[in-house]
Amino acid sequence: MTSLNNCAAPPSFLRPKTAGFHPNRRRLLFASTRQFSGSVGYSPHRRCPSYCCSSAVKEKTENGAAAAQSEIPVRIVAVVGEGSVSPLKSTPWYDVMLHTAKRLKWVDEGYEMRVYTDNACRAKNAAMEKLQHDVRHADILMIVAVTDQESIKWINSNSQDVLNIISFESSPSLTNKLGGNLLQTKAVGSIFSKLPLPQPEKVKESEEVANSVNEAWNRHNSDDIRFCLLVIINAYIKPVPILKNLRAKGFSTLNCMVKNCGPQILNCLLDENCRKALQCLNRCSPVDQVCNYQCIASYESRQLEEFSLCVLQKHNCLELDAKIPERPVVAPMVQFRGEELDHETAEDLFVGWLGRLDWSWRVVAGQNPAYDQFPCQFQLFYRGKAKGSFWYEPVFQVRTLDGDLVWRRRKYRVKRGKNPGTFFFSVLDNGVVSNEFWTIVDVPDDLSWGLFHYHGAARVAGQSYTGAVLVSPTGLYPDESQGERLASALDSCSIKEWEMFNVDNCSCQNPPLGLPEGSRLHHKVKVESLEDS
């Protein structure tokens, strides 16, 4: 039996990311309890402050306004310091922002982001003229790692008409604005300090936006960098559908809860863990999936499950309806061991090493910052007693907010997709159903590793997501010789190597594994010994 303590460093082609704790794993994507209490969300979306909006705009019908909003392009300019290096596995900031521009298109084709180095600020040629034109027409200017004084002077003098300017890891003398309102900048720590705005509503709104943006940026991953821009677009330019539950429903939510779920609410408030979960959720931004799932995983209880099952799943008191993302489009592998992949073989690839080992696969690394980083992730795929039934049970550790290390386990129903190598997953996680579409991207003939991609949504929680997991039988990275093939597999998912987070597989003693009686494993694929692999 292979040791559970696999702490060896990954190969050079996939170095570990250095980052703080992210409480990650499938799957409840829970809405903040500030929604449950009917509190006010962000103000109406606008390209300009409310005082400059014309009466003609205000008089549009709801349908007409929605149609007009959908046609509004969003112009973003990113300026990064020449030669600057990000914390994402030391990837140049320029490359990170170019990839961010591509990922924004997955949300809306109308999001146009152009990326420059600050050399263009000093070029005094066509490059400077193009940058100058783009900045003057930008809805958002994002500045990253710019410290050159000449560049700073040029940016400040050419961006006075830009309503939204945010700078990160740059000189404190750079101007920051949200919705046209100047923000004070601290030299260290948070990029935003208290906002000296006269209107109380604008102060509250800008503080919420600034806090969400700053917390996301400090997590240093590709999802949260994109999230920073989406939050600003949603607050000041036009609605972003995937951030729908930033906008609470007010008294209709409260009325739905009290009318339909009174006993569940009372039981939750009387239970210590459930009460802690709600208090924790109330401190999270409604769409901060990392923060929300940390609260859920830390304070799981029967009362919390019954609360969310009633409020969200049965009665949809938040009136949300998230859809599974369609992009990126990821194709499944088509051959295994020289033969066309069929549905039974694809299921066998998921079953993997189960039978030879006590698990199918162990997760080595994942792409999604909210769900792919929990320590000691064991995957169990197996066929059930009933004909055609197939199940997935992830077993993983959670370090709770109280400092405890606990095991968690979920159970997914799995059905075949139209094409071999594609599958539909569904799970009831702490009272909320999540539906996912999985793709087997690549598995070598010797089953030495695998790459699985997923799109998912928790419909009534208003959350949608994508991600991918790199797996192996031991939890170790594939051999260096597999670097080119792995990079190609990641590229087919539109994922860069520097986006992958390493899973901590160092202290995984006594996982609660085991299968239901009558479970069945492989049908067609023969699994060799680990030594032969």
Determine contact, residues 261/274, Cβ cutoff 8 Å: no
Q: Report pLDDT for 241.
A: 81
Quick one: which H or E segment has residue 113? strand 111-117
For residues 436 and 238, what is the distance between their CA atoms, to the nearest angstrom?
Answer: 28
- Name the burial class of residue 18, with classes exposed (0-12), middle (13-18) and buried (19+) by CB atoms within 10 angstroms of its CB: exposed
- Angle (CA) 390-511-288 rounded to 5° is 75
Consecutive 10-residue averages of pLDDT for the chain (533 residues)? 54 40 35 34 36 35 46 91 96 97 95 97 92 96 97 96 95 91 54 45 70 87 92 91 63 85 95 94 78 88 95 92 93 97 98 97 93 92 96 94 91 98 96 96 97 95 92 96 96 96 92 95 87 56
Q: Report pLDDT for 134.
A: 97
Determine contact, residues 431/308, Cβ cutoff 8 Å: yes
413: phi then psi, degrees, rounded to nearest 5? -85, 135
For residues 192 and 206, what is the distance between their CA atoms, to the nearest angstrom?
Answer: 10
Helices (H) and strands (E) in the chain, counts: 14, 18
Q: Token pair 């769900």 is at which residue? A: 371
In sign, the C-alpha dihedral spanning 480, 481, 482, 483 is positive
Residue 302: count of CB within 10 angstroms of its CB? 14
For residues 531 and 533, what is the distance between their CA atoms, to the nearest angstrom?
Answer: 5
Q: Report pLDDT for 204.
A: 64
Q: Report pLDDT for 103.
A: 96
